[in-house]
Amino acid sequence: MKPAQRPAAVRVFQTALVALPDLDVFTPEDPHGDAYFEEGRLFGAYVGGQLVGTADSLASWLAVPGGRRVPHTAVTAVGVLPTHTRRGLLTALMRAQLDDAVARGDVVASLRASETMIYERFGYGLATQAGSAVVTKARARWRPTAPPGGPVRLVDPVESWDLLARIHEALPAHQPGAMGRPATWWNQKLLRTRKRGGLTYVVVHGEEGAEDGFARYYPDLSVDWRDEGRRTIVVNDLVAGTPAARAGLLRHLLGLDLVDRVAIDDRPLDDPLPAALTDHRAVQFREIEDETWLRLLDVPAALAARTYRGPGRVVVEVVDDLVPANSGVYEVSQDGAARLAAASAPAADLRVDVAGLGAVYLGGTRWWQLAAAGRVEARDPAALATADALFATASLPYCGTRF
């Protein structure tokens, strides 16, 4: 799609979504230069010359278990005008986008789904979940043994943008499911921050020149700020590369005067914060939702990129109707994963479609769960436990980046 049509694409997406908090900030009148869109990634569906559907994506990386970062198409802005739904336009857009991503050599694609019924048919599986950790400040006391964290300092939310991007890109490879944030992502968020005016705050952790984490937060003004007892800040981005950074940033946030509640968006469900407080019910997880829907574009490359933990080996047959090159038999063990030649492949222990494999790939969904749901065929039930041990990760995978 040509750059000149970007404003029309934004309008189509906004109309398709009806309403989405934050989306109204990005109006069609905003500049639509390459700062916000990546050339060659926006697809349009046309009927009688009119643009009626869109699908866009960002060039990114995804951190897989073991820490490698694989090339990643981050799918976004998918929408079809309500006057043109259920006639195959999304299917055509997804097909074109999938072919394009495979041709680019990307190993995985992921997205956030507005509704759960849409994307499995295109090979996406639910791989991670996240929730908002809402902390009641009056109940939040740190255990004496909780890490103290290092120094934090407030920085200008607009001027600090390059620093935040550098901190994020330098994150150590400890979080399976994390994704790269390209410049277009940062530019869109910066636009929103500017429009929100002075009420966004950014705090960074670490000595100058050695920063290793940051938090962005703003007051929730949907409740009257004079209403003592209900003052809430929303932390919409918490990035910590080390335990010290986590501790330092959280201590800053939970220590803010005036504030009654701290709502930290997009936390993994095994977040250690409750365990670091004397009263773990000071933290309530709310709005637990699907986070990453993952599509393996190149199954051999994806299986080879991650590491495996448990003993034993499994032979898995993968079925991918949309990208037939992925269909095949793979052997997975602690030594790695490889496709077996069809002629010599033994009968598979497990059989799964590519959406199911996307769900279990990061370790957030378990093989036994899918088998119990009838989505994995297990010739040998013992293979499920072997597969779960192999695919397990130390902590739950999560992404923490909205796009």
Ligand X SMILES: CC(C)(COP(=O)(O)OP(=O)(O)OC[C@H]1O[C@@H](n2cnc3c(N)ncnc32)[C@H](O)[C@@H]1OP(=O)(O)O)[C@@H](O)C(=O)NCCC(=O)NCCS
Residue ranges in contact with ligand X by CB under 6 A: 16-17, 78-80, 85-91, 113-115, 117-118
Q: How far is the CB of 112 from ligand X (least distance, A)?
A: 6
Distance CA 285, CA 382 (A): 34
Chain centre distance of CA 384: 26
Active site residue 201: no
Task: Give the three-state DSSP class for 321.
Answer: coil
What is the smallest separation between the CB atom of 214 and ligand X, expressed in angstroms? 27
Identified catalytic residue from 36, 119, 217, 391? 119
Least gap, CB of 168 to ligand X (angstroms): 23
Among 368, 370, 363, 391, smallest CA distance to 128 is for: 363
Enumerate the β-bridge partners of residue 277.
Answer: 142
Nearest to ligand X of 8, 259 (CB atom): 8
Q: Which is nearer to ligand X, 129 or 395 (CB)?
A: 129
Q: Among residues 206, 280, 209, which one has the least CA distance to residue 243?
A: 206
> Is the Cβ–Cβ distance between 201 and 229 less than 8 Å?
no
Nearer to ligand X, 121 or 230 (CB): 121
| Closer residue to ligand X (CB): 121 or 280 | 121
Which residues on neighbouring strands pair with residue 377, listed in sequence order?
Answer: 351
CB of 320 to ligand X, least distance (A): 18
d(CA 343, CA 116): 38
Chain-centre distance for alpha carbon 128: 8
Catalytic residue among 26, 214, 391, 403: 403
- Indicate the residue among 114 and 334 with the shorter CB distance to ligand X: 114
Sheet holding 350-353, edge to edge: 336-340, 328-333, 313-319, 350-353, 376-378
46 flagged as catalytic: no
Give the shortest CB-73-to-ligand X separation in angstroms.
Answer: 14
Known catalytic residues? Answer: 119, 403
